Chain A
C-alpha cells in the first residue's frame, strides 16, 4: 500500500535517473574488480559499498566516501554488472545530493588563468564532464568572456589543458611545462631513443608497470593522466630535441577512464601523422597504441617492436 513517509536519502537516490535499480545490488563485487581506482588511486574506493551505504540510508558516510567523488563514469562496471545497475549514474546521483548539501570534491582540479584565457570555448567542447563553461565579466570597464571550471564536475583528466590554444588551463603536476621538462634523454651510443607517454589507467596490473621500469635510459617513460592529455606539440618537441620515436599508450576503445580521452588522442595523433606526411617526415616515429584490460604483457611487445623499427630505420 502507499506510504506517507517523507523521502529518505535512499528514496532520493532511487528517484534520480539510474537509481531505480539500486536495490537489485546483491554485493557480488564485480564492479569493484572491474574498476581501477581502488588499485591506482584510493584504497578506500569501493562502489559496492557506496551502493550499500545508500541502501542503508547512511547519508553522511556516503557523502564523505571517496567513491562519491572519484568515479569518472568510465562505465567499465556497467556492462559487467550482472544486475545491470548503472552504477556511475547512482554515484552521480549521490554526488549531486552531496553538492547540494554543501560538500565539495577532494580532487585536485584544473584552474584557468584569466590573464591568458581568450574565451574561445574549446575547453567547453573538449571536456567530457561539462566542467568548464563560459562566464561574462567586466574587466577594466569592458565586458569580456572567460572560461570557468566547475570544480565538482572536473575529474582532472587534463584534456582541456591539451586543447587550450592559449595555454591558459593547468593542473598541478600535469601542466605543459612539467610534462615537457621530462622529455630529455641523453642519447647513448647507437641505441634508438624513445619517449613513452603512458596513460595512468591503461596498464591494469602491477606486472606491466614493472615491465616499464625494466627498460634502460634510452626509453623515457612519462606518466600522464589520460592519453587525451597529449598535445601533438609534445611529440614534435621530442622529435625536435633529437629523440627517435614517440609512443603514446591509451586505453582500448570503450575503456577510457575519462570516457573519450583515447578517442580524442587517436584523432589528434592521426592528424599529426598526416601533417608529418605532408612534410615528408612521417615514417612511424609517432605511434598510438590502445591497451585493453586483458592485454597483460602487451606493453613489452609494443615498446620492443617500436625500438626494433627505429633501429631498422636508423641503419
Chain B
C-alpha cells in the first residue's frame, strides 16, 4: 500500500466517493466527491498531536467498537496516506486540536467537500464485503450474552496491536477463557439469511483455533461445524494439524446457546451428529463465524457503475468461467470479494487479473467489440420529428442510446453489446441489429414454416441460454419432437412481437419463447425486457382466441437440456390434443388481426436489404418468393 502511494503514476484518493460515471470503455468520466477531512492534506504529517489533544471519545469501528477513538482520528494505524480526519458528528468545536497542531496549521474547519471530474480509461471495483450481523439470530444470543463474540471481534482481541494488546479476555470479566467454542456457518448456508457458503470461514476458524492453542496451550477449543471445507492447496493439511494439536471438531450445528446469568458461562446445545445425541457443553466464550455478505451500499455502486448483481447482491461477472473479473460493462472490472466471497489467494489473483485486463485497455488505441450492434435508421426515428418516444433508450440495459427531441436516437457503438432489445421495442421500426435484421429473422421464420406449418413447433431461443439448452438436449441424445423448428436470436429481448405474429400468421402449430433465467441474463436486464413483452403477447393472443399452450414462455438455461426436451414434448402433446383442424381454424379466424398487428413485416423486410448482410439469407428469401409466385398461380 505504501509502495502504491509512493508510485509516481498512482494517485491514492481516500475518503472520496464516486458519484457519477459517464462515457464508455477507454473514455470514462467519473465524478468524485472528496469529502472534507477538515485537515489539510498538504500540511498534515500524521503526528497525531490533534488526537492526543481531542477530548471526545467515540467507539472505534476498526476495533469492532471494543476500544474508543478520538473525534480527530485516523481509521487505522497503517492508513495510507496517513492523514487525520475530524469527525464532525462527534466534534464539539473546542479547537484544542488547532492549538495542538500549532505552527503546522493543518487543521482547517472551513474545508468543504471537493467535487471534480476525472477522465479514466478503465475502472476496477474492489469494494470488498461486509460481515453478517448475528444479533438477528436470537438463538445464539449475540449482543445479549457478553461472552458471545464474532470472528471479527476475536480478530481484534488476539491481535497484538488490538485493544487488549493480544491478550484474549472475556468481555464479561476480563478473565482469560479456558474453554472456547467456535461456531461455523452463522448466517451462511442458511436459507433464512444467506444461502451461500462463505468460502473462507472454515479456514479462519481453524486459523484462530491454532493461534489460540499456540498462545494458551491449556485452552480447550471446540469447533462446531456442518461440513469442513478445505479445498485449496495445503488447506487439508492445515486442518490435520489442528486436529493433531488437540482441537475438537464437533459435527453438528448448535440450535441454541444458554447462559448462566451469574458466571456468564455459556452452554452450547447441539446434536453431535456422529453420536446422534444432544449435548450441552459449557464454555467460557463462544466465537461466531459470521457469513460474508455484500457491502450495504452495493445497490448505489451498481447503479452508479451500471453493473448488475447476482442473486444475493454480489456484483455479477461477464461470464462465471471464462471472464470472471470482467463486469458486463466493458472497461469495468471486479476485483476481490465484491464479486463473490473469496479468500486471500483468490482475491489477490482476481486483483492481478483485473490489473492486467485494465492495463490492456490503457495501452491500446483501438477496442474490439462484437459486430452485432444496433443501428438507427434516422429517417424513421420519430424523435427526429420532435416527438416524445425514447422506448429504445428505456430498453437498453447499457445506457448506450441517447435520445434528444429533435434529433434521431443515437447509439454509442462502443457501449452497445448487441442484445437487440431496442430493435424489438421500437414501434416505428427505426432501429436494426446487424446480423439479426428483421429481414433475416423473418426470412428464417418463413423458410422454416414453408411446409405443413400447423405441425411445427417454432422455437425462439436466446443465444446464451436456451440455444445452449437445445444444443445440450441434442448432444445428450434426449428425445424430443422432430417437429421442432428453432432459430437463434441474441437475447429474448430481441424476440419481437411481430415475429410471433408472423409465425402464427403463417400457421405455426405452437410457438416457444425462451431465454435465460432472470438472474442469468447475459445482457444485464435483457431478459426482463423480453419477459415483459412475452407476458403482454400472451394476454393479447389469449384475447384473440388462441388455445392456451400454443404460445409458451419458458426460461431454460444452457445446462437444462432435459427441460428443453420436456417443454418441446409437452408442446407437441398440446398441439396433438388441440388437433390439426382446430389449429388451422384458429389461425384463419385471427388472420386479419395478426396481419394488422405485424406491421413490421411489410415495412422492413426487403430482399435487397437482407442481401446486404448475407448471401445465404438472400437465397432463402428468393426461394420463398418463388413459392409465393407459385401460390399466386
Query: What residues of chain A have their CB less than 8 Å away from a CB belonging to chain B?
Result: 1-2, 26-34, 38-39, 43, 46, 48-49, 77, 79-80, 82-84, 204-207, 293-294, 296-297
Contacts and interface: CB of A to CB of B under 8 A. Distances in A.
B252 A2 contact: no
Interface of B: 138-139, 141, 185, 189-192, 226-227, 251-262, 267, 269-273, 276-278, 280, 478-479, 562, 565-566
Contact of B189 (A46, A77, A82, A297): A82
Contact of B478 (A1, A38, A207): A1
Contact of B273 (A29, A34, A79): A29
Contacts of A2: 566
Contacts of A34: 255-256
A97 B258 CA distance: 37
Given A1-B566, A28-B252, A33 B259 contact: no
B192 A46 contact: no
Contact of A30 (B141, B255, B261, B277): B255
A296 B261 contact: yes
A80 B141 contact: no
Contacts of A207: 260
Contacts of B185: 28, 82
B226 A80 contact: no
Contact of A296 (B251, B252, B258): B258
Contacts of B254: 30, 33
Nearest to A36: B278
Contact of A29 (B252, B565, B566): B252
A142 B475 CA distance: 76
A293 B256 contact: yes
A43 B262 CA distance: 30
A84 B192 CA distance: 7
A30 B253 contact: yes
A48 B271 contact: yes
A296 B566 contact: no
A205 B139 contact: no
A33 B269 contact: yes
Given A205-B280, A293-B256, A296-B261, A33 B191 contact: no
B255 A82 contact: no
Contacts of B270: 29, 33
Q: Which of A32, A38, A297 has the most CB of B within 10 A?
A: A32
Given A205-B258, A296-B259, A296-B260, A32 B191 contact: no
A39 B278 contact: yes
Given A30-B271, A205-B258, 7 more contacts: A2-B566, A82-B189, A83-B191, A294-B138, A294-B141, A294-B258, A296-B260
Nearest to B261: A297
A158 B139 CA distance: 29
Contacts of A204: 256, 258, 269
Contacts of A43: 277
Given A1-B566, A46-B276, A33 B261 contact: no
B146 to A, nearest CB: 15
Contacts of A32: 252, 255, 271, 276, 278
B200 to A, nearest CB: 19
A127 B121 CA distance: 72
Contact of B562 (A1, A26, A31): A1
Contacts of B267: 205, 296
Contacts of B227: 26
5 contacts: A1-B479, A29-B253, A32-B271, A33-B271, A82-B253
Contacts of B189: 26, 82
Contacts of B258: 204-205, 293-294, 296
A26 B226 contact: yes
A46 B139 CA distance: 20
Contacts of A1: 478-479, 562, 565-566
A34 B258 CA distance: 12
